[in-house]
């Protein structure tokens, strides 16, 4: 029992850099009448969490945006949820009323880019603000485990990207980079009726996983050639190329691999200081589309939940490591090294 007058503490994993993630005590959040408090059950470490150029500029901070948990407290004005419910909580949520949301560009919404939960997913408790309560809390079906629920957010991002890329039954898909995001694209493309799905990577472990998860061919990026792609794809390049790595060499490989009338989806992007040149006349002449996708909206999350619940996209086999919150540093190192790990999960 806490002594009267002393604020209750909780454990958090505070990010300073990829090699310095510290377990620190912070005050357990208190909620307002329009908020909820969630006790974290599982939190996935995302590949974006170990992008130092992206994360260090805001350090020190508590990261983590792929979380499931149990509602611990409910604000007096919240009637939609109740204590004890298992939930997935989205960190960025749109307003659903602005110019961008009106035209289906929810991830460009200003509200989405300013919302988050406090202090972050890598903590024992999470304070969910009013806007997130309104548009970003989803009750987990019994068919989805806490650990599987951490894949809802990355799958939602994948769902959105393939929709933007014009995925249709019968199209061929090349996924460049076979980390968690790339493997989710492989799984979803197969579920979406792709005629052929191909994957590349430089890591043998991930190439093997790509094959296990449905890729018709998995090429080592170091010796990948357009001839190999054509031989495996009825003498055609890929209708949709999804770039899931920030490596500059992969961008050039992606550009060369698009069939006429095809689409190049930038799911990952190079460091902002890097300048990339494109053969615009080729794109114009061959009717090639370049597009991007960032994050996911509530409708994408709802679709991802249904895909996991129905087992149309199985995600449990992506989970390779489960660690206690206190071992967050080990988890970050596993993800940053990107060797024999896929989804690494921290447990409170």
pLDDT in tens, 147-167: 999 999 999 999 999 999 999
Report the C-alpha gap between 270 and 252 in whole angstroms: 12
Report the C-alpha gap between 234 and 307 in whole angstroms: 30
Q: Could you give the dihedral angle defined by the CA atoms of residues 148, 154, 158 and 160, in that order, rounded to the nearest 10 degrees?
A: 110
H-only helix segments in 56-179: 99-102, 130-135, 146-149, 152-164
Whether residue 241 has pLDDT greater than 80: yes
Report the C-alpha gap between 341 and 326 in whole angstroms: 19
Query: In this structure, what token pair is assigned to residue 44?
Result: 């996935």
Supply the DSSP symbol for 118: B
Annotated domain spans of the chain = 9-154+296-347, 166-292
Average pLDDT, the chain: 96
The DSSP-derived string for 236-258 is --EEEEEE----HHHHHHHHHTE
Name the percent of the chain lying above pLDDT 90. 91
Report the C-alpha gap between 68 and 65 in whole angstroms: 10
* CATH architecture type of domain 9-154+296-347: Alpha-Beta Complex (3.90)
Query: In this structure, what token pair is assigned to residue 24?
Result: 């620190």
pLDDT in tens, 172-193: 999 999 999 999 999 999 999 9
Element (H, E) at 39: strand 36-45
H-only helix segments in 136-267: 146-149, 152-164, 180-191, 204-212, 226-232, 248-256
Whether residue 59 has pLDDT greater than 90: yes
Residue scoring higher pLDDT (241 or 6): 241
Per-residue confidence (pLDDT) for residue 272, from 0 to 100: 79
Report the C-alpha gap between 168 and 165 in whole angstroms: 9
In words, the CATH class of domain 166-292 is alpha beta
Whether residue 341 has pLDDT greater than 90: yes
Kindly indicate the confidence band of residue 1, based on its pLDDT and cuts at 50, 70 and 90.
very low
């Amino acid at each position: 029992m806490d002594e009267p007058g002393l604020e209750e503490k909780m454990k958090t994993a505070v990010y300073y850099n990829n090699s310095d993630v510290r377990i620190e005590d912070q005050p357990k959040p208190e909620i307002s009448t329009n908020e909820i408090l969630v006790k974290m059950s599982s939190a996935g470490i995302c590949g974006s969490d170990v992008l130092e150029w992206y994360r260090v500029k805001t350090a020190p901070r508590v990261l983590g945006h792929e979380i499931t948990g149990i509602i611990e407290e409910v604000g007096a004005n919240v009637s939609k949820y109740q204590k004890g419910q298992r939930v997935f909580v989205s960190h960025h949520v749109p307003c659903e009323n602005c110019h961008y949301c009106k035209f289906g560009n929810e991830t460009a919404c200003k509200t989405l880019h300013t919302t988050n939960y406090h202090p972050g997913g890598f903590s024992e408790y999470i304070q969910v603000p009013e806007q997130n309560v309104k548009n970003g809390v989803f009750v987990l079906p019994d068919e989805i485990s806490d650990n599987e629920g951490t894949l809802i957010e990355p799958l939602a991002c994948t769902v959105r990207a393939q929709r933007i890329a014009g995925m249709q039954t019968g199209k061929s898909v090349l996924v460049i980079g076979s980390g968690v995001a790339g493997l989710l694209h492989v799984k979803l493309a197969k579920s979406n009726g792709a005629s052929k799905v191909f994957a590349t990577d430089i890591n043998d472990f991930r190439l093997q996983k790509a094959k296990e998860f449905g890729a018709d061919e998995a090429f080592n990026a170091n010796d990948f050639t357009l001839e190999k792609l054509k031989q495996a794809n009825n003498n055609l390049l890929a209708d949709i190329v999804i770039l899931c790595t920030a490596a500059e060499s992969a961008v050039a490989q992606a550009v060369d691999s698009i069939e006429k009338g095809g689409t190049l989806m930038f799911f990952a992007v190079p460091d902002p200081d890097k300048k990339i040149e494109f053969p615009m006349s080729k794109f114009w002449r061959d009717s090639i589309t370049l597009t991007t996708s960032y994050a996911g909206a509530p409708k994408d999350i709802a679709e991802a939940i249904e895909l996991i619940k129905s087992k149309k996209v199985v995600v449990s086999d992506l989970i390779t490591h489960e660690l206690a919150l206190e071992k967050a540093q080990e988890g970050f190192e596993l993800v940053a090294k990107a060797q024999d790990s896929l989804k690494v999960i921290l447990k409170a």
